[in-house]
Structure 1
């Protein structure tokens, strides 16, 4: 995944997950793809919940975006591309959860976005411009007035709004998935 991702594997485990439990299951199963798939699906679900709540994996609230504040919408959710792009890829000993949209990383980690100088065309309706509360812009097809404006080069600083990660609840869910796999492996070994 090129945008942003986190990867959990048997050799490196975030937080306080009991590595010994993961290694015990791994010793009984050469290919843990099914377990990693279940962990990935759980992490995708929890990432969606965090995005709906507008909070980081540690529970802190994100800084509200200007667009969301002005429109009453949600931060990091305009039409849902980032939200819908969250996926997981499981392997025999690891799972990666992330997004491949080009702007995924800037939202996860924050940073500066450089905009080059450009000419911007804006579209308006004369009738709207004369109204008591004019609509500032309209779509090209509805415009009766078109003008070009020079926009200077500028930098936009995006705050970090981490949506990927492993929360305390995620750790408990991962442990439950691993325990279920361990119990199933023990039952299968006893047959």
Structure 2
């Protein structure tokens, strides 16, 4: 795992998102700037970690980062501008609220909409290669999971405590039985041909 590409000379922020493939809830994104000497033995892609590890690492990230920020884009905005643009917008919003201005941006994935003319680099599976992207993936994931668990208190029938809004059989079946809420993304379709929404 590498710390950064240009951190010796530039203030570098790693960005990642969570919740892109969900049927319900916002998409979240985070941006993280680490000090030059930061290191951690288990910090990696959030999908490779247990919920307990993610929670522990979130505290470490928030304590050790020079700056971090988390932002979201609502289901209504996702429906209006599409999920790809919404993911980039969430990253831009996170970058907007960093207490340090990034001079170089590392982005997980293969696409990004340029942000304020700041140079950036897209890295496929970057959350397994760069510490700042891995940290951003953990923050985006844990903040989003907490948000969906809170929503589940009001809408327990959709199983959001377990599925976090992803298109599980449980979630799709609950939609067929109970209909859509204002937290659902109405432009997303259920892929199982046995469970059609439209």
Same fold (TM over 0.5): no
TM-score where L is the length of structure 1: 0.29
Greater strand share, 1 or 2? 1
The higher radius of gyration belongs to 1
TM-score where L is the length of structure 2: 0.28
